[in-house]
Structure 1
Amino acid sequence: MDVCLLSTGCGLEFLLVLCGLEFSWSCPHHCICYTTPSTVSCQAHNFLSVPDGIPPDSERIFLQNNKIHRLLPGHFSSNTVTLWIYSNNITYIDPSTFRGFTLLEELDLGDNRHLRSLAEDTFHGLIKLNALHLYRCGLSSLPDNIFRGLRNLQYLYLQDNHLKNLQDDTFMDLHNLSHLFLHGNRLWSLNQNSFRGLRALDRLLLHQNQIEWVDNLAFHDLKSLTTLYLFNNSLTELSGQCLGMLPALEYLRLNDNPWSCDCKALSLWEWLKRFRGSTSSVGCQMPDYMVGKDLKELRREDFPNCSPTVSNSESRAQTNNLSGTVNPSMNRGVAVGSGGQTNIAHPSRPGRPRTCTKPRNRGSKEKGDNEVHHSKEVMADKEDSSPNFTEGGKHDHTSPDGTVTRRKHKCTPRTTVRPPSGVQQVNNNAAPSKSLLHFRALIVALIATNTEYILR
């Protein structure tokens, strides 16, 4: 009975036993610990710092909804697999805090509104990290190379910060990233190399920013992207060539932008006529005679004085012949490739021109369950960071106008799944092994001997 009085209550311990969880008696004060799997739960106790006495073999540590303000080396051990510290008052993270955490798979630092800045090497070495939560942290910029080496990362939550721009190649190492959440920031432009390297990206959420300028090649690496949200920004135009670089696109949201439906919109109008996926309305805000109309519903006759847009092959040839970089800050609000207008030239990567608008493969798409699942014991108070997506293999998308569109599984999966490092794949064309060759030679010799004996 004395032991029960020292813990958080016999009732809770009894429930843990009923659930098949072995209770651990080596546990920080006011925390709950159990060993299957080894877990420390210290949520919602107004801790001002990480509590002492966390067992070094703890795989899961839950510290959300406290008042912790600093993270330092030694607070956690390198055995940690899941670490939740969201909804605290963290203002500083020592760059060595997670040094050597090669087993860490999920790190949730979200909703620490006064964090504001991170050192470049804060996450270096987290080679198994699968999900990183940095939403609502007051971040105004991201250091160079902050995501370097995170090649297993699939989910990156950066929404509801104060990010104004994305430096080139920020996500270059994230070869397996499938979900990138950047909505609710202050981004105003998307440059040519803002998303370079994200070849496995499936969903890119950029809504509720201040985007008014998109480079013609901003999406050139996003060959697997199926979902793009650009609604509620400041876009007046967007070239069809820009969207033509997204061959797997299925869901596009462009509503609540101040679209200009004059000759500058002809390129986008032509692309929308060819697009076979789901799109929102594209409400015209200018010129006056177009206000209230939907660009998608216009006809070619509504652009009587607009010269035809440059064909895809000609446009690519022109782009590939250009060199140098145009500073987007000098041309805010101007997109590339608008029909009948003076275009701003932006360079392309050297190499053979690529066909960006060829017909998509209409084969069936069976998508696996790739959402992040969290532990049930503390999920009740964890905010859902991706409200538009349901768990499971079929994802329902809620559009801004309240309608729900269901994924139709139209495209074949494009995300590359690589074997773990050091694991060699079977080569079906490889030569037979020496032992197999010896065995075959022995069989042939026996057959020859038996045949000679029978003939005698």
Structure 2
Amino acid sequence: MRKMLPLPYRGSTIQLAVALLLLLSVTSRADWRSRCPRGCRCTQNAEEHLGLNLASCKGVSSVPALGPETQAIRIRDSEFGRVPDSAFQQFKNLIYLSIRMSNVLEIEPDAFAGLEALEHLLLSHNLVENLDNRTFQTNKMLRTLGLNDNRMEKVDDRLFWNNSLLEILDLSNNRIHSINPEAFKQNRKLYFLNLSGNNLTHVDVAILSEMPNLRIFQLDDNPWHCDCRLTPLREWFVGKSVDLTQTRCHEPETLRGRPWSEIKSEEFVCSP
């Protein structure tokens, strides 16, 4: 019969194993920080990122040469220009990615391919005009997406098709004038949608039918044409008791500047 180790010894062995694992983890993190490239600051205890391996970079023109242990990347005040295909494919553990105020003009269709763990993607304050329908196709874990303050003009029906876990979507301060009625068909978990500060005159109320969890929907600062085509959207808002004091008509001239909340449904009329 095989002899069992005395309990104190077995306990000590387990404690030693745990201690070694912790030491290896700390050493690995320290090694990751020591290899931080020029232009970046690598930390592990950033509270807003829940202790992730975070690299904060400024003044870079391409993807920094960071290790695969990187879990969060924050790039700003840079001259990126173009984000090429597979630009971040080496970061299999990436959960958070922010490229803001970096003069991004073009994002190639497979720029974020391979980022299957990505949950938060912020691309605001850039110069992006168009996005291919493949752009976020492999980012199925995406929960937050910030595309605000760019130059986008439309939202196609399949742009967010594979992002069924998406909860927060900010498209404010672009140049959007057209939204496909099925643009958010697969985003049933979406509870925050910001479309303010665009060039929208009408929006089909059908876009709301597939978003049962929507709680915050911002539409202010658009050149709304308040006629009969806008009535269904306005009625949906009234039925949800949403604050419409900041959502105002631009056309017709008789209603210009008036908030939706002060206009009766029968005033939303179309010319004969």
| TM-score normalised by L of structure 2 | 0.73
Q: Within 2, Cα distance between the matches of 1:219 and 1:293?
A: 24
Query: Does 2:171 correspond to 1:182?
Result: yes
User: Structure 1 residue 201: deviation in Å?
Assistant: 0.7
Q: Is the 8 A contact 2:84 2:110 kept in 1?
A: no
CA distance in 1: counterparts of 2:235 and 2:245, whole angstroms: 16
Alignment correspondent of 1:280: 245
Partner of 1:192: 181
Q: 1:76 to 1:96 in 2, by over 3 A?
A: farther
Checking the alignment, whether the CA contact within 8 Å between 1:135 and 1:161 is kept in structure 2 is yes
The size of the alignment, in residue pairs, is 238
Report the alpha carbon displacement of residue 26 of structure 1 after superposing the two structures with TM: 5.6
The aligned residue for residue 413 of structure 1 is none
Q: Quick one: distance in 2 between partners of 1:97 and 1:290?
A: 49
The CA distance in 1 between the partners of 2:259 and 2:40, in whole Å, is 57
**How far apart are residue 166 of structure 1 and its match?**
1.3
Secondary structure of the 2:207 match is coil
Partner residue of 1:449? none
Show the counterpart of 2:201.
Answer: 212
CA contact (8 A) 1:71 1:94 kept: no
The Cα shift of 1:109 comes to 1.2
Find the aligned partners of 2:87 and 2:147 in 1 and give their Cα distance.
20
| SS class of match (2:225) | coil
Q: Distance in 2 between matches of 1:29 and 1:86?
A: 14
SS of the counterpart of 2:107?
coil
Following superposition, the deviation at residue 226 of structure 1 comes to 0.3
Is 2:156 the partner of 1:151? no
Contact 1:207/1:230 (8 A) holds in 2? yes
What letter matches 1:280 in structure 2?
Answer: T
Distance 2:186 2:113 in 1: 18
**Aligned pair partner of 2:62 in 67, 70, 77:** 70
Match of 2:72 among 70, 82, 103: 82
Matched, 1:163 2:135: no
Q: How big is the shift at 1:119?
A: 1.4
* 1:321-360 matched pairs, under 5 angstroms: none
Structure 1 Cα separation of the partners of residues 220 and 243 of structure 2? 14
Decide which structure has the larger Cα Rg and report it: 1
Q: Which sits farther off after the overlay, 78-87 or 276-285?
A: 276-285
Aligned counterparts of 1:230 and 1:140: Cα–Cα separation in 2: 20
Aligned to 2:210: 221
Residue 100 of structure 2 aligns to a residue whose secondary structure is: coil
Counterpart CA distance in 2 for 1:132 and 1:99 is 15
Give unpaired runs (5+ residues) of structure 1: 1-20, 39-57, 238-259, 307-337, 343-456
RMSD between aligned residues: 3.4
Per-residue CA deviations over 1:422-454 (Å, capped at 9, x if unaligned) read xxxxxxxxxxxxxxxxxxxxxxxxxxxxxxxxx
Shift of 1:282: 5.2
Structure 1 residue 77: Cα displacement = 2.9
Alpha carbons of structure 1 residues 287 and 197: separation in structure 2 relative to 1, 3 Å: closer
Q: Following the alignment from structure 1 to structure 2, what is the Cα–Cα distance between the partners of residues 70 and 290?
A: 49
* The one of 108, 122, 129 aligned to 1:133: 122
Q: How does 1:367-386 map to 2 (within 5 A)?
A: none
In 1, the alpha carbon distance for the partners of 2:98 and 2:76 equals 6
SS in 1 for 2:190: coil
Alignment partners' CA distance in 1, 2:63 and 2:264: 59
Say whether 1:142 aligns with 2:131: yes
Distance 1:291 1:100 in 2: 52
Contact 2:148 2:171 in 1 (8 A): yes
Secondary structure in structure 2 of the residue aligned to 1:278: coil
Deviation at 1:78, TM superposition (A): 2.3
Report the Cα distance in structure 2 between the residues aligned to 1:215 and 1:144, rounded to whole angstroms: 21
State the one-letter code of the partner of 1:150: N
Q: Which runs of 5+ in 2 are unaligned?
A: 1-28, 47-51
Identity %: 22
TM-score between both structures, scaled by the size of structure 1: 0.46
- Equivalent of residue 61 in structure 1, options 55, 58, 61: 55
State the distance in 2 between where 1:193 and 1:104 align: 29
Residues 165 and 187 of structure 1 are in contact (CA less than 8 Å); yes or no, is this contact kept in structure 2? yes
Q: C-alpha displacement at 1:203, in angstroms?
A: 0.6
Letter in structure 2 aligned against 1:105: I
1:98 paired residue among 88, 95, 108: 88
Going from structure 1 to structure 2, the CA distance change for 1:84 and 1:192 (only over 3 Å counts) comes to: same
- Whole-Å separation in 2 of the counterparts to 1:294 and 1:118: 37
Q: CA deviation at 1:128?
A: 1.0
Instruction: Please state how far the C-alpha of 1:116 moved relative to its aligned partner.
Output: 0.8
Say whether the 8 Å CA contact 2:86–2:114 is kept in structure 1: no
Contact 1:265 1:339 in 2 (8 A): no
